[in-house]
Amino acid sequence: MAPRFLKIEDVQEILNVSSQQAYALVRSGDLPAIQVGGRGIWRIEASELESYIERQYAATRERTSQPRSAAES
């Protein structure tokens, strides 16, 4: 059974981003997470990470389906 919650390090590996980028996603609220324990260690629910990835795919499809203006060409 896959774990319900992932560590920031897991998110870094899955998204192939730096620790700073992973923390920025969490702090901005783009990637919902919780803090657990006395030291406030971040945990990301696996389903939230999958939702984030799907949102990014949708945003990318939206951007790439937009006609480019003459200035962008």
Beta bridge partners of 34: 43
Domain-embedded: residue 70: no
Query: Residue 69's pLDDT is what?
Result: 66
d(CA 52, CA 47) in angstroms, rounded, equals: 9
Task: Report the SS3 class of residue 44.
Answer: strand
Where in the sequence is the domain holding 35, given as residue range(s)?
Answer: 5-62
d(CA 6, CA 11) in angstroms, rounded, equals: 7
Percent of the chain having pLDDT more than 90? 75
pLDDT score of 31 more than 90: yes
Mean pLDDT over the full length of the chain? 92
Domain-embedded: residue 36: yes
Task: Point out the least confidently predicted range of 7-16, 17-26, 28-37, 60-69.
Answer: 60-69
- First-residue to last-residue Cα distance in the chain: 49
Domain-embedded: residue 55: yes
Task: Read off the pTM.
Answer: 0.82
Pair of tokens at residue 20? 């700073």
Domains in the chain: how many in total?
1
> 71 falls in which pLDDT band (50, 70, 90)?
low
